[in-house]
Amino acid sequence: TQQQRSTAQWRELDAAHHLHPFTDTASLNEQGVRMITHADGIYLWDSEGNKITDGMAGLWCVNIGYGRKDLSEVAKRQMDELAYYNTFFKTSHPAVVELSRLLAEVAPTGFEHVFYTNSGSESVDTMIRMVRRYWDVKGKPQKKTLIGRWNGYHGSTIGGASLGGMSYMHEQGDLPIPGIAHIEQPWYYKHGKDMTPEEFGVAAARWLEDKILEIGADKVAAFVGEPIQGAGGVIIPPSTYWPEVERICRKYDILLVADEVICGFGRTGEWFGQQHFGFKPDIFTTAKGLSSGYLPIGAVFVGNDVAATLAAGGDFNHGFTYSGHPVAAAVAHANVQALRDEGIVQRVREETGPYMQQRWRETFSQFEHVDDVRGVGLIQAFTLVKDKAKRELFDNWGEMGTMCRDIFFGNNLIMRACGDHMVSAPPLVISKAEIDSMLGTAARSVETFEKKLRERGLA
Ligand SMILES: Cc1ncc(COP(=O)(O)O)c(CNc2cccc(C(=O)O)c2)c1O
């Protein structure tokens, strides 16, 4: 078993040797990390024995919940049988075949083919290369540009970070790469002005048409978007947005790609977010809930006509050592099978999702500095605002979110601050009683936050 150390010793060694993602290392090392040592269901425990409610399912990924010994048993059995072999050079293995069959079953109709990666970013980079290859094979090699949204998130590889619309990422590494464009995000609360949500949804989709005409449809390869923008702060487009986006993509003959890394595998109550919004992409990218984070694995679901076109093009010169890794594939198979056969996705759609959405709105609509209370299935958020009546946001975007997030964390409830949006995406196995308990803690935390605002004369 693991070497037992004091929290202080863990912290010291971590500070000495471990570089964390998306972190200001110097400031982190001043405060020291929180050592998470165990987890079960929707709960984490830290090295000081504190029990923490994980309102974020890790990083939006532990859909099946923590502590599933059946998954660790599958991992051990597969590792003992075949710990690794590759899927290059005309070889395959039972684990990846069984996973591929299962994924074709749970996928929306028209998706029979899956390409494997190790992460969401690698799924996005794979998609970028597939999309450009598709148009080469179609004899339109000048169709290269992919359009994403500002404040969209598609990962941290060169391609994913370029396609994403986080400018603070573009500034580091001279991104975006050539052939990437962005349009404004469908954030009704900020851009909706005097339009109804339905009118705004169409208007926001038309921004895509404007961009296509600006670039030239003959140069545009694809439009890429998350059904609901996750890391951008749970930006839920009006119902009219995605059908209008799809219509525009068909009109100008550009591929439509859904990034389902967060929305996939039951998060919205449907298997995939595209089904909640009623649109059909040509390709979609996944990771996270595919294995519930138990092992790193991603998958690109390739629509039948894109798959046929790629196949007609002979060698597709792309792939990874661990594409279809046997242990990751076996665990993903067990995870997806459980999400389906234990009725977990169905329960989100029919029971716990509706319950969370009702209780979430009841809990947060009462606060003076909370607005745009929103959510679908088990992904939900609200925005911290300066003046609700005027729909006025706070200055210094993100400062209030950080302060509020720290209050939550101090109450042993993990939520995520994306700017001044407070967001939550708990494991899909959360019960109604656990929802009530989580929201009780959350309400107390927001009360403390508003008290702090008044003390600082900000409210
Ligand atoms: C829509 C989407 N696409 C791609 C990725 C990249 O996946 P990988 O990280 O596995 O390469 C993501 C990942 N999303 C993500 C990753 C890490 C942190 C947070 C956060 O909200 O704090 C969000 C994502 O949300």
Residue-wise pLDDT for 413-445, tens only, equals 999 999 999 999 999 999 999 999 999 999 999
Render pLDDT for 59-115 as a digit per residue (tens, 0 to 9).
999 999 999 999 999 999 999 999 999 999 899 999 999 999 999 999 999 999 999
How much distance in Å is there from the Cα of 34 to the middle of ligand 1?
A: 21
Tokens of 194: 């005097």
> What pLDDT was estimated at residue 1?
65
Per-residue pLDDT tens digits for 296-320: 999 999 999 999 999 999 999 999 9
Average pLDDT, the chain: 97
| Whether pLDDT at 210 is above 80 | yes
* Residue 249 pLDDT: 98
CA of 390 to the centre of ligand 1 (A): 33
Distance of CA 38 to the CA centre of its chain: 23
**From the alpha carbon of 298, which atom of ligand 1 is closest?**
10
Bridge partner residues of 413 (DSSP): 53
3-state helix/strand/coil string of 406-423 = HHHHHCCEECEEECCEEE
Q: Percent of the chain scored above 70 by pLDDT? A: 100
Pocket of ligand 1 (CB under 6 A): 59, 119-121, 124, 153-156, 160, 226, 230-231, 259, 261-262, 287, 416
Cα–Cα distance between 306 and 256 in angstroms, integer? 11
Instruction: Choose one of 261, 285, 286 to mutate for the ligand 1 pocket test, by most ligand atoms within 8 angstroms of C-beta.
Output: 261
Q: How far is the CA of 42 from the centre of ligand 1 (A)?
A: 20
- The mean per-residue pLDDT over the stretch 397-415 comes to 96
pLDDT band at 27 (very low <50, low <70, confident <90, very high): confident
> How much is the pLDDT for 31?
82
Dist. CA 61 → ligand 1 center (Å):
9
Q: How far is the CA of 170 from the centre of ligand 1 (A)?
A: 16
231, 238 Cβ separation under 8 angstroms: no
The atom of ligand 1 lying closest to the CA of 288 is: 10
**Going by CA atoms, what residue is nearest to atom 17 of ligand 1?**
59
Question: Measured from the CA of 260, which atom of ligand 1 is nearest?
Answer: 1
For residues 365-383, give the mean pLDDT: 98
DSSP class of residue 263?
A: T
Closest residue to atom 18 of ligand 1, CA basis:
59
Across 23-36, average pLDDT: 87
Ligand 1 atom closest to Cα of 119?
10
Q: What's the 417 CA to ligand 1 centre distance in angstroms? A: 14
- CA gyration radius for the chain? 22
Q: Which atom of ligand 1 is nearest to the CA of 156?
A: 11
| Confidence at residue 215, expressed as pLDDT on a 0 to 100 scale | 98
User: Ligand 1: distance of its center to the CA of 155 in Å?
Assistant: 5
Q: Which atom of ligand 1 is nearest to the CA of 226?
A: 1
231: CA distance to ligand 1 center in Å?
A: 7
Each residue of 113-122: pLDDT tens digit?
999 999 999 9
Q: How far is the CA of 5 from the centre of ligand 1 (A)?
A: 31
Nearest alpha carbon, ligand 1 atom 21: 231
Q: What band does 282 get if pLDDT is binned at 50, 70 and 90?
A: very high
Which residue's alpha carbon is nearest to atom 20 within ligand 1? Answer: 231
Give the closest residue (by CA) to ligand 1 atom 8: 120
Amino acid at 306: V
Model pLDDT for residues 55-69, shown as the tens digit of each residue: 999 999 999 999 999
What residue owns the CA closest to ligand 1's atom 7? Answer: 120
pLDDT value of position 32: 82
Q: What confidence score (pLDDT) does residue 24 get?
A: 87
pTM equals 0.98
Q: Whose CA is nearest to atom 4 of ligand 1?
A: 154
The pick from 56, 116, 117, 153 for probing ligand 1's pocket by mutation, whose C-beta has the most ligand atoms within 8 angstroms, reads 153
